[in-house]
Amino acid sequence: MSIETQIKNIGKNLKIKDSRFIEIERKRKLKFEDFKKLRRFMSKHSDGCEAPVTFIDQYLDTKDTAIAKKGASLRIRYKQDGLKVYIQYKGPGFLHKGILFRSEFNSGKLPEVVLKESHNHFIHFNEKNLKAIMFNHLPEEMSEAMKRHLGPKILSQISVGNLICFYKKEKFIVSRNKIMLEPSLDKISTFYVRGTNIFPMATFCEYENEIKAESKSLEEKLNNLHHLIKFDKVITANFNLPAESKDKYHKCLSFFK
């Protein structure tokens, strides 16, 4: 099968017109006791690492979790102590030989939100200003993808979510040919907010590895996918890292069951 046909089929399956918004990654479960050992191993088998970052995600959905049921996720991401806030959408994806293909969009920084309420390091979204952002401040390609994947009815019913995730991410860099691998180690603590009460749900770790290419070229990613697979084999030969089929949102929701 030609690379052009592969790209066309992937875009058709994901309902994405622009292949630049298609991400490819592998996700694996990681035990707490292996976190530090894997970090040391990664330091020796990568070209460098970025400084650890912490941030908060607030997942959005309808009251009956219609977005989750579609296999998608929508979140407000708070970074840099609330000085950088944006909305990220990930569409329904599919697994092929343990590799996850899905679409990813983000709104870019929302300065009107940050400037309004970041002075006290707390950003409050109510249903009114959230809907204004959703309909007036999202990039066209992001809005169009959400309409295709979710439909106008679900979009009109999205409210502020009660699921909060606190992240610590340690990202490594692995350069290969015309692409770059970005393996990362994540620690996630999840909480459910109801009114003025906050309930801790779970804390877990994950290993992720995403393939990146110049100009977000899907062709380059597919042509160099063997680098991701090869690197993953090195990691799994030394650590017990079971495959993770759920994204973070759906994994957090599974804790309710």
Question: Within the chain, where are the H helices?
Answer: 3-14, 32-44, 66-69, 111-117, 127-136, 140-150, 152-156, 218-223, 225-238, 248-254
Q: What pLDDT, on the 0 to 100 scale, is given for residue 121?
A: 46
Distances (CA, A) of 119 to 58, 82, 85, 108: 20, 9, 14, 20
The torsion defined by the Cα of 56, 57, 63 and 67, in degrees rounded to 10, comes to -170
Question: What pLDDT score was predicted for residue 128?
Answer: 55
User: Which domains does the chain show, CATH number per domain?
Assistant: 19-254 (2.40.320.10)
pLDDT higher than 50, residue 61? yes
Share of the chain above pLDDT 70, in %: 91
Concatenated DSSP letters for 20-48?
A: GGEEEEEEEEE-HHHHHHHHHHHHHSSSE
- The pLDDT of 1-11, averaged and rounded, is 88
Write down the pTM of the prediction: 0.90
Crossing angle of helices 225-238 and 32-44, rounded to 10°: 130
* 205 pLDDT higher than 90: yes
Comparison of pLDDT for 142 and 201, the residue scoring more? 142
Please report, rounded to a whole number, the percentage of residues in the chain having pLDDT higher than 90: 65
Q: Specify the pLDDT at position 124.
A: 52
CA-angle at 228, arms to 25 and 2, nearest 5°: 85
Q: Say if residues 184 and 170 touch (Cβ distance below 8 Å).
A: yes
153: left (phi over 0), alpha (psi -120 to 50) or beta: alpha
Q: What is the rounded (10 degree) CA torsion for 134, 100, 232, 206?
A: 50
DSSP character for 182? E
Residue partners of 185: CB distance under 8 A and separation at least 6: 30, 35, 38, 39, 42, 169, 170, 205, 206, 207
